[in-house]
Amino acid sequence: MNRVILVGRFARDPELRSTNTGKSVATFPLAVDRRYKQEGQPEADFFNIVAWGKQAETICQYLGKGRQIALTGRLHSRSYEAQDGTKRYVTEVVLEEFDFIGNKNDSAPQNSQPQQDMDLGEDFHLMADDDEVPFF
């Protein structure tokens, strides 16, 4: 099974190109946050994403650097010969489905701490990530 599910932010604006046959293709790097490590400093993994056809055109029209996206796709490995004659290998995520998340003006990560003034009722309380689950 070859299935990838990612939620992240555009590290830069997507690039739209066309193949010789006129099919649209968009490429962009996606930054996906890891869990916080030392002293509250987030780390991210960057994945190269490739979208084809109408999906590529839609992404380039409506999304850009900093915007959030949820996507599913598949890993694809390929090789090519560079200008200097060396063989290069690339692994990319080929987009299959995506959803816009966040809003149009949301281009920077928000503070991930819960709001303290939320009224969730007396039977509900927020747990920190390192708390144990109280049931099995």
| Domain annotation covers residue 110 | no
Domain coverage including residue 76: 4-101
Query: CATH code at 62?
Result: 2.40.50.140
Give the tens place of pLDDT for each residue, 45-97.
999 999 999 999 999 999 999 999 999 999 999 999 999 999 999 999 999 99
| Residue of 21, 80, 18, 20 lying closest to 52 (CA atoms) | 18
Is residue 108 a part of any domain in this protein?
A: no
- Is 67 a member of any domain? yes
Calpha distance 40→6 (Å, rounded): 22
Count of domains in the chain? 1
Q: How far apart, in whole angstroms, are the C-alpha atoms of residue 40 and residue 45?
A: 16
pTM above 0.85, yes or no: no
Model confidence over 33-53: pLDDT tens digits?
887 666 766 688 999 999 999
Q: In this structure, is residue 64 part of a structural domain?
A: yes
